[in-house]
Amino acid sequence: MKKIELVFRELLFQAIEKQNRRFTQLALSRELGLSTSMISFALKPLKKMNAVEVRQRGFSVIDPRKVLYHWASVRNIEKDILYKTRAEMPVIEIEKAMPDNIVYGAYSAYRLKFKDAPADYSEAYIYGDETLKIRFPETKGPANLFVLKKDHLMERYGKLTTMAQTFVDLWNIKSWYASEYLKALEARINERLLE
């Protein structure tokens, strides 16, 4: 993921899952280990579309949905794929066979977080590293395991991608059932934003 996306993820995690919409650029820069100029750069398009309001002593996310849709439109999940392979087992078994140092994404993250599956799915999106090749070697056939590069801040959110990251990843996945998960997740995000 690009550094700018780390900022979007943190803003949306705070706004959606922590009910916090007020920030300072300095505190955010320290929290994420990014320069204040990178924070300022990330805020520029959000300010232009009236998704954030920047003041002298900080800024506020005034429309998290705009931030979410902006991130979804600039996200390129394909660039984060380290490798993909075919594992000859059901997707639930693939998920169970994962080591502790991974983060579940997309369909798996949704199902594990909400104990619900809006549609059957047959692909696992996992954030990890190339050591997964030992457990799941590259094989021929239609891929059902996608290993994406895990960034250095991802584990601070837990074993599942944030609601926002799950949304933007699903937005960028081409399978037909991604839209079923998107609808269900969007409804859950909207509920959180109304609280």
**pTM metric for this prediction:** 0.95
pLDDT at 83: 94
For 144-162, write each residue's pLDDT tens digit: 999 999 999 999 999 999 9
pLDDT at 194: 85
pLDDT at 65: 97
What CA–CA distance (Å, rounded) separates 171 from 182? 7
Q: Is 142 exposed, middle or buried (0-12, 13-18, 19+ CB in 10 A)?
A: exposed
CATH number of 3-74: 1.10.10.10
Strand order in the sheet with 58-61: 22-23, 58-61, 52-55
Least Cα distance to 155 among 113, 114, 101 occurs for: 101
What CA–CA distance (Å, rounded) separates 32 from 3? 10
pLDDT at 56: 86
- CATH 1.10.10.10 intervals, the chain: 3-74
Q: Which two tokens stand for residue 151?
A: 């960034």
Q: Which segments of the chain have a pLDDT < 70?
A: none
